[in-house]
Every structure is written in C-alpha cells, then in structure tokens.
C-alpha cells in the first residue's frame, strides 16, 4: 500500500508557473506507475499526465502537452508536475495517483485503473 501527499498548489497569474510535488510513503514506490489528474470546478476528473515506473515513458493530455512536464525521483519517492504557461482553464484540484505496474513501460490514462490517490492540491490561475 502507498500513501500519497500532494503539495505545491496555489494562486498564480496566467502565464506563470507552478511545480506540484507528490510524496509517496513505502519502500516500493518504484513498482508504481504514477499519474496526475485534475478536477476543474463543476467538472469531472480528467487525465493530465502519466509516467512509467522508471520514468522512461510519459504521456500527456493534449490540453497540457508542451506546457506541463511530469517527472519522478524514485530515490526520493516523489513525482512532480512542472506547469508552465498556465491558463485560467488549468484551474482545478490536482491529484496524484499510483497504480501497480508489472512492466517498466506501463503508463495509464484512465482514472479508474489507479489504485491509490492523494487528497489533492488546489491550483488557481487568474486572468
């Protein structure tokens, strides 16, 4: 089992940047593929980015491609989401999620496939 805690959210002006972090408990972090999802106000949770167990494979939603970068540090049990050129439509609660991955190349974009979730961190982008 793994516990996830997000941090780094806040209020930023359009065009600005934020770096979200997700700290994971446990000694088996490298066994999990990781993902970031977000839930805008009044909308359903949506996929943002995913990364494979060893960080070699990444996947992004079209809406964030070229602006966001997902990365992980298995030695520090952490995953990050660097968000640049933020837009008001990026405003949402951002969640970190983990799924057991048998393959080094596995990534997952579907929320229901993930096993563990953090509590979320609010990101607000003002225009």
Q: Is 56's pLDDT higher than 80?
A: yes
Count Cβ atoms within 10 A of the Cβ of residue 43 and give its class: 0-12 exposed, 13-18 middle, 19 or more buried.
Answer: exposed
Q: Is 26's pLDDT higher than 90?
A: no
pLDDT of residue 17: 98
Starting at the earlier edge strand, list the strands of the sheet with 4-7: 4-7, 18-24, 78-83, 68-73
**What are the beta bridge partners of residue 47?**
37
User: At CA 65, angle to CA 62 and CA 66, rounded to 5?
Assistant: 150
For the residues 18-30, what does the mean pLDDT come to? 93
72, 9 in Cβ contact below 8 A? no
pLDDT of residue 108: 94
Instruction: List, for residues 88-114, the tens digit of each pLDDT value.
Output: 999 999 999 999 998 889 999 999 999
Q: What is the mean pLDDT of the chain?
A: 96
């Amino acid at each position: 089992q793994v516990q996830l805690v997000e941090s780094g959210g806040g209020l930023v002006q359009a065009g600005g940047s934020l770096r979200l972090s997700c700290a994971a408990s446990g000694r088996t972090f490298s066994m999990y593929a990781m993902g970031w999802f977000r839930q805008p106000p009044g909308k359903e949770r949506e996929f943002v980015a995913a990364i494979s167990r060893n960080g070699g494979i990444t996947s992004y939603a079209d809406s964030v491609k070229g602006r966001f970068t997902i990365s992980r540090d298995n030695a520090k049990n952490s995953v990050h989401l660097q968000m640049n050129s933020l837009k008001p439509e990026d405003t949402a609660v951002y969640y970190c999620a983990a799924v057991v991955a048998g393959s080094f190349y596995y990534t997952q974009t579907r929320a229901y496939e993930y096993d563990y979730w953090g509590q979320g961190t609010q990101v607000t982008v003002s225009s």
